[in-house]
Structure 1
Amino acid sequence: MIRDTQAQDTVIASPKKRVKKWIVAVTALVAIGFAANAMLSAPSADISIDRVSVQIGTLERGELVRDIVSNGRIVAANAPQLYSPEEGFVDLKVKAGDQVEQGQVVAIVDSPELNNTLKQARSELARLEGEMARQELDARRQTLLLNKQVDLAGVDLEAAERENRRAQASIKDHLISQIDFEKAVDDLARAQLTHKHAFEEVALAKDTLAFELQSAKETVEQQRLTVEELQRQVKNLHILASVSGVVGSLNVQPRARVAKNDTLMTLVDLTAYEAELNVAESYANDIGIGMQVEITMGATTRRGTVSAISPEVINREVITRVRFDDNNISGLRQNQQLSARILLENKANVLKVRRGSFLQAGGHVAYKLNGDVAERVNIQLGATSMREVEVLSGLEAGDQIVISSYEEFNQAPSLLLR
């Protein structure tokens, strides 16, 4: 029996399978080589950051507008409060929200004490006027008596002069004695003195009467002024609206007892509005009267001027009033919400960059981009606005820096943005 050659056969691997393995090995070696070369040729950096996780700003030259952004509301430019002029019971003639016209009676205060004081003052005025009339009659009577004394003194003087002339003639003819002649001379001198004093007494008495009468008139006039003042106070018990508008709020209830100078109500003038802004305390020293303001209400932007700044800080904010540059009140409503930009300063041809969280690092350093690597450089910043910040040194126009927060960089000298 002839045996086959099966025992002499040897299984040989296919050449194709051997080539495939060789190609895979070579490919792996090439890939490893390329990776190592890439790692060796890549820029060196301390830490690696994902590029999409940071914000990048480009420096440019232009105009920088320093501004302050704040929120606020529309308020009435004129919202006077009405006060009780006296103590009493108030009778309200309007309700909150009612329309009122200037000069309209909105409340009446019933003050029994004031009314009684007015009646007493009027009675005192009538008494003083009667007393003055009596003094005028007395003055006329006394003047008449004084004039009578002057006239009698004049008659006595004429009689004495006549007797003196007779005595002068008689003494020449020795018809009377020397004693009788001297008596006639003395009587004339006495009559002349009496007449002279009568005139002086009359003049003095008339001055005295005139003074007393003038004093009485002044007393009456003073009392008349007192009555007029009380009448004015009683008239003011009818409280009138000082502006045309609406009743904003009532501070008392009808027929309530109020004290003098108690607030009764607030009126709102709907013909003039202002913007009331709440500015952060940190910007209080930067704002000033007369600064321009851009006010945004929805899709509408209007301009205004800072007209008043509160001297006190409330809840770490300063209340600022802004007056609109135009008198158009269309579209404005009381307590309407708004946002505003207070324009502090305009600086031309400055190197600036978009504002970002990198300012929290102190504004002394920045990460400047050079390809995929951001290097830490020292900078100096200047004026800041709500949108941009001025760069004084350390960077140039066209440079790019990281403007997002630097907290996660741990003050690394360089970053790789992958």
Structure 2
Amino acid sequence: MDVQIEKKKFSKGKLVMIGGAVIFLILIIYIIINTSGGAKLSVSEERLSISTIKSDVFQENIPVSGIVLPISTIYLDAVEGGRVEEKFVEDGAMMKKGDPILRLSNTDLELSLINQETAVYNLLTQMQISQNAARQNTINRLNQYTDVENSLVEAKRLYELNAKLYEKGAIGRQDYQSSLNNYNYQKQRMILTKKVLKQDSISTKQEIEQAENSYQRTQNALKLMRKKVEDLVVRAPIDGQLTSLDAEIGQSKTKGQRLGQLDATSSFKVRTEIDEYYISRIYAGQVGTFVLNNKTYNLVIKKVYTQVNNGRFQVDMLFEDKAPEGIRRGQNLQIRLALSAEKQALVVPKGGFFLKTGGNWIFKLNEDGSKAHKVNIRLGSQNTQYYEVLEGLKVGDKVVTSSYESFNDIEQLIIK
């Protein structure tokens, strides 16, 4: 009698297939779990700079580099051309106002001075001769006036005497008429003589004034010529330090040629160059600070040069108080220039992350610090230490502020 063999539900082959399917399903689930949320990267905490978001006093500023310059520089140009005959000082010398620097020679100019002096002397001599002649002419006119006056007095006396005699019949009409005619004639002479004397006085006065004006003009020309000759000796126009002296004995210098410059050492200014991006936000009165020998000093913008060269413009700044001891021309200063007033704000320290993200997102750590994921943020103003956080973060959040250069498209950091 046959015995019925009971068929097994799962064969060995089926069990192998089921096991393989389960393992495959587990692998798929693992991949899904590990790929959810984007690409991940494990990174050592030592490689990261982790900063904490905080609320702090914030002021927008920019770093600028400034160079110390004298408060003013006077350029020394050759007022008159000539040959360098003598140097009294060397480049770098400290000068007092009026001290001689060098002497030029110019024979043409010196000869012109001699000719001008001769012309003045000749004019003075001629003017003296003219004045003497005018005086003599005036004396002659006065003598004539005296003669006419005397003749008038005598004619009047004779006329009045004859008039009385004529009334009494002591003399004839002919004698009376003759004395009357002579009297009238002398009166007319007196009127004419007075006019001539007055006109002569006016003419003499005009001639003297013209001669004096001509002499004064010639004197002024002589003074100018002497000044030109005096300018052959180049002198310091102010107290200061002589720099860039370009003159050697025997050299010929043309009129207007640069000889050197004199730097006023009574005070200093600082000249900075700023990116043209900020030109609309820079104005006189803004304050910058710098640290020298562990002490902070303030600078105030005095002048803004709006001309842009190579994408930058210049600004002159003055020390708010006395300049630091020992500061020198040409010294470089690192200045923080304030662009806004102080305010309370959320801030994140500056770091390399900004180059990759442009301030649009940042890696934010979770509560236990084991992971960091991307979060969108919005940054505002900046200064030399911080960015102002406008959106996306709160006080106490920890973020990665070091460079993201090697993270590429990573969405999450696994921090070890």
Query: What TM-score results when the alignment is normalised by the length of structure 1?
Result: 0.80
Match of 2:344 in 1: 349
Match of 1:17 in 2: none
Q: Tell me, in whole angstroms, the C-alpha distance in 1 between the residues paired with 2:328 and 2:197.
A: 80
Check the 8 A contact 2:375/2:392 in 1, yes or no: no
Match of 2:70 in 1: 76
The one-letter code sitting in structure 2 at the alignment partner of 1:346 is A
- Evaluate the alpha carbon distance shift between residue 334 and residue 373 of structure 1 in structure 2; reply closer, same or farther with a 3 A threshold: closer
CA offset at residue 108 of structure 1? 0.7
The one-letter code sitting in structure 2 at the alignment partner of 1:92 is K
Of residues 26, 34, 39 in structure 2, which corresponds to 1:47? Answer: 39
Match of 2:379 in 1: 381
Matching of residues 388-407 of structure 1 within 5 Å: 388-404=386-402
CA RMSD of aligned residues (A): 3.2
Match of 1:19 in 2: none
CA offset at residue 398 of structure 1? 2.7
> Gaps (5+ residues) in structure 2?
1-23
Q: Tell me, in whole angstroms, the C-alpha distance in 1 between the residues paired with 2:35 and 2:366.
A: 10
The one-letter code sitting in structure 2 at the alignment partner of 1:385 is N
Paired-residue identity, %: 20
The one-letter code sitting in structure 1 at the alignment partner of 2:394 is E
Check the 8 A contact 2:141/2:197 in 1, yes or no: yes
> Gaps (5+ residues) in structure 1?
1-31
Q: Deviations over 1:67-104 (max 9, x none)?
A: 12123333333443322110111232222234444432
The one-letter code sitting in structure 2 at the alignment partner of 1:46 is G
Please tell me whether residue 62 in structure 1 is matched to residue 56 in structure 2.
Answer: yes
- Evaluate the alpha carbon distance shift between residue 213 and residue 244 of structure 1 in structure 2; reply closer, same or farther with a 3 A threshold: closer
Q: Match of 2:190, SS?
A: helix
Q: Match of 1:250, SS?
A: coil
Of residues 136, 142, 147 in structure 1, which corresponds to 2:142? Answer: 147
Check the 8 A contact 1:251/1:264 in 2, yes or no: yes
- Evaluate the alpha carbon distance shift between residue 363 and residue 155 of structure 1 in structure 2; reply closer, same or farther with a 3 A threshold: same
CA offset at residue 297 of structure 1? 4.5
Check the 8 A contact 1:63/1:347 in 2, yes or no: yes
Please tell me whether residue 307 in structure 1 is matched to residue 302 in structure 2.
Answer: yes
Matching of residues 172-187 of structure 1 within 5 Å: 172-187=167-182
Q: Deviations over 1:264-290 (max 9, x none)?
A: 123344553333333333333333323
Q: Tell me, in whole angstroms, the C-alpha distance in 2 between the residues paired with 1:162 and 1:227.
A: 60
Q: Tell me, in whole angstroms, the C-alpha distance in 2 between the residues paired with 1:204 and 1:242.
A: 53
Task: State how many pairs are aligned.
Answer: 385
Check the 8 A contact 1:45/1:416 in 2, yes or no: no
Please tell me whether residue 415 in structure 1 is matched to residue 407 in structure 2.
Answer: no
Match of 2:289 in 1: 294
Q: Match of 2:342, SS?
A: strand
Please tell me whether residue 337 in structure 1 is matched to residue 329 in structure 2.
Answer: no
Check the 8 A contact 1:308/1:320 in 2, yes or no: yes
Match of 1:166 in 2: 161
Please tell me whether residue 217 in structure 1 is matched to residue 212 in structure 2.
Answer: yes
Q: Tell me, in whole angstroms, the C-alpha distance in 2 between the residues paired with 1:144 and 1:215.
A: 21
Check the 8 A contact 1:364/1:381 in 2, yes or no: yes
**Deviates further, 157-166 or 140-149:** 157-166
Q: Match of 2:225, SS?
A: helix
The one-letter code sitting in structure 1 at the alignment partner of 2:54 is E
Match of 1:265 in 2: 260
Query: What TM-score results when the alignment is normalised by the length of structure 2?
Result: 0.80
The one-letter code sitting in structure 2 at the alignment partner of 1:71 is S
Q: Tell me, in whole angstroms, the C-alpha distance in 2 between the residues paired with 1:174 and 1:74.
A: 115
Q: Deviations over 1:212-246 (max 9, x none)?
A: 11111111112112212222222222222234554
CA offset at residue 367 of structure 1? 4.6
